[in-house]
Chain A
Amino acid sequence: MAITHREFDYIKGLIKQEAAIVIDTGKEYLVESRLMPLAQKHGLASVKDLVDNLSKRDNQQLVTQVVEAMTTNETSFFRDFYPFEALKKKVIPDLIANRSAAKELVIWCAATSSGQEPYSLAMLIKENFPQLATWRLRIICSDISEEMLERTRSGVYNQLEVNRGLPVSLLMKYFKQDGTRWIVKDDLRRMLEVRLVNLAAPWPHLPQVDLIMMRNVLIYFDQVTKVSILKHAYDQLKVNGVLLLGSTETTINMNLSYQVQQYEKLSYYSKL
């Protein structure tokens, strides 16, 4: 049973308000297919019943679950490959040179999803920058979804997930196996600090950071929200700090202060 305009508009408004995510008209099927399982889980017969429940506005947990169901969590280890090559060959070496006096590096993965991105970064650092072992290194990872944060904390991946993008030598080195589940070893897991941050709401107190990975999340927001988040991120960066976006995202034409840099295929953004 297809959802009505009223239900679609209600969900669209709710998701916009809670997470700044824009659901385009024509995505009715998406709302339906993502929310039907949630409705059933709550013993409801339809998305309409779910919307009726939501509009009572007395169940914040249900709102959270709807937001989580509507977010796209698609990710993989070393996603897109070349940004990680650039991190390895250019971005992190430059940061290390810049911060050699303080010996401190703070990294923020601002849309961690199930954790493949921060774990990729942690492995990349361990493999290529052993000197950082004596530095104060923080990898803060955040997301709007508590469910995704829990996945990041647990570091448990299925076979298909570890097949994707992850060199097998790193799988052997940093994971242990439990049947068809692969679990990140504790020393790597302990490198991550996991916290809830809704990018579209006022941010909690965060330290000034050297590197922000904010990949494949701005695409879901409208232009005004994008600009405001990118401004905010600029303020959060230390001088010479770097912002990395997803392959289809950019700060260009937004009249922002970032300096656009290029390393091979990767554009990244510096605060000078």
Chain B
Amino acid sequence: MRALVIDDSRAARMAVSRILKSIGFDVVEAENGEQALDILNKDETITVAMVDWNMPIMNGYEFVKLVRRSDKFREVMLVMVTTENEMSQVVKALSAGANEYVMKPFTDEVILEKLEMLGLRL
């Protein structure tokens, strides 16, 4: 299975990617929502995107809204991974169409358990 990790911080991308790779995912990375949309449009094998909220050019919230506007990506799971930890923000992301939500900082277990909830453990 293939995953897309979207974060403007290289360290954060590496942290999430490492966990996904440890359970056998192929990982593609993007630095912002615009790049991510581009990748998603070209690569139909991506099953899940891990999405940071605060990024330049296009933030994660905008990305989620845009992805959910297109029927083509209906099956792609979207997991927000962000320092935004206000209930109102979480609700906002969920109503835009995010499937799960991880508040930074996280441990490996957090990510693995979230994937399991979404039926994505390999």
* Chain A residues with a Cβ under 8 A of chain B: 76, 78, 81, 159-160, 162-165, 167-169, 171-172, 176-177, 180
Find out whether the CB atom of A159 lies under 8 angstroms from the CB atom of B85. Answer: yes
Q: How far is the CB of A88 from chain B (nearest CB, A)?
A: 13
Once A169-B94, A177-B87 are accepted as A-B contacts, the answer to whether A163 and B117 lie under 8 Å apart by CB is no
Find out whether the CB atom of A160 lies under 8 angstroms from the CB atom of B91. Answer: no
Identify which of residues 82-122 in chain B touch chain A, using a CB-to-CB cut-off of 8 Å: 85-87, 90-91, 94, 100-103, 105-107, 109-110, 113, 116-117
Find out whether the CB atom of B100 lies under 8 angstroms from the CB atom of A167. Answer: yes
Bound-state CA distance A180–B87 (Å) is: 10
Find out whether the CB atom of A168 lies under 8 angstroms from the CB atom of B94. Answer: yes
Q: How far is the CB of B90 from chain A (nearest CB, A)?
A: 6
Contact partners of A169 in chain B: CB under 8 A: 94
Q: How far is the CB of B93 from chain A (nearest CB, A)?
A: 9
Bound-state CA distance A167–B87 (Å) is: 14
Contact residue range for chain B?
A: 10 to 19
Find out whether the CB atom of A172 lies under 8 angstroms from the CB atom of B110. Answer: no
* Contact of A160 (CB < 8 Å), options: B90, B94, B107: B107
Find out whether the CB atom of B86 lies under 8 angstroms from the CB atom of A177. Answer: yes
Find out whether the CB atom of A168 lies under 8 angstroms from the CB atom of B113. Answer: no
Find out whether the CB atom of A76 lies under 8 angstroms from the CB atom of B106. Answer: no
* Contact of B101 (CB < 8 Å), options: A160, A164, A168, A177: A168
Find out whether the CB atom of A81 lies under 8 angstroms from the CB atom of B109. Answer: no
Q: How far is the CB of A79 from chain B (nearest CB, A)?
A: 9
Find out whether the CB atom of A172 lies under 8 angstroms from the CB atom of B113. Answer: no
Closest A residue, CB atoms, query B80: A168
Contact partners of A177 in chain B: CB under 8 A: 86-87
* Chain B residues with a Cβ under 8 A of chain A: 85-87, 90-91, 94, 100-103, 105-107, 109-110, 113, 116-117
Closest B residue, CB atoms, query A81: B116
Q: How far is the CB of B48 from chain A (nearest CB, A)?
A: 15
Find out whether the CB atom of A163 lies under 8 angstroms from the CB atom of B87. Answer: no
Bound-state CA distance A162–B102 (Å) is: 9
Find out whether the CB atom of B87 lies under 8 angstroms from the CB atom of A164. Answer: no
Q: How far is the CB of B114 from chain A (nearest CB, A)?
A: 8
Contact partners of B116 in chain A: CB under 8 A: 81
Find out whether the CB atom of A164 lies under 8 angstroms from the CB atom of B109. Answer: yes
6 A-B pairs with the lowest CB-CB distances in the bound complex, closest first:
A168-B101, A177-B87, A163-B110, A165-B113, A159-B103, A81-B116
Contact partners of B91 in chain A: CB under 8 A: 172
Contact partners of B102 in chain A: CB under 8 A: 163
Q: How far is the CB of A102 from chain B (nearest CB, A)?
A: 34
Once A160-B106, A160-B107, A164-B109 are accepted as A-B contacts, the answer to whether A172 and B117 lie under 8 Å apart by CB is no
Once A159-B103, A169-B94, A172-B94 are accepted as A-B contacts, the answer to whether A164 and B113 lie under 8 Å apart by CB is yes
Bound-state CA distance A163–B85 (Å) is: 11
Once A81-B116, A180-B85 are accepted as A-B contacts, the answer to whether A76 and B109 lie under 8 Å apart by CB is yes
Bound-state CA distance A19–B100 (Å) is: 40
Contact partners of A168 in chain B: CB under 8 A: 90, 94, 100-101
Bound-state CA distance A167–B114 (Å) is: 7
Bound-state CA distance A50–B113 (Å) is: 40
Q: Which of A163, A165, A171, A180 has the most CB of B within 10 A?
A: A163
